[in-house]
Amino acid sequence: MASHFILHLHFRLQGCHGLKEKRSRLAPLLTKLKNQNLSVIESDLMDKHQEAIISIAKVSLNSSSLNRDLDQLLAFIDEDRNDLYLIDYQVEQFV
């Protein structure tokens, strides 16, 4: 039976002065995540210029590969977030 997780990432975007700028700063990360066959959305704080919550969903065949995928995803985000500062994250895991 398949397992899945939803990862919620809370970012701060220092010096962001408008929603258009916010979207353009989030776009490269969202595109890279979508290219890894992940479902990705900006799920909260859409009206805040300097904060964003991104939610990512992943389905896997078993919980061990799901945990490995989660670890790899968190490492990727840590390396590739550029000027986005990760404030917090929360994981919902369903096995």
Write out pLDDT tens, residues 26-82. 998 888 888 888 899 999 998 999 999 999 998 887 777 778 888 888 888 877 667
Write out pLDDT tens, residues 6-15. 989 999 998 9
pLDDT recorded at residue 81: 65
pLDDT recorded at residue 60: 80
CA distance 86 to 83: 10
Q: pTM of the predicted model, to two decimals?
A: 0.85
Range 14-30 average pLDDT: 91
- CATH assignment of 3-94? 3.30.70.1120
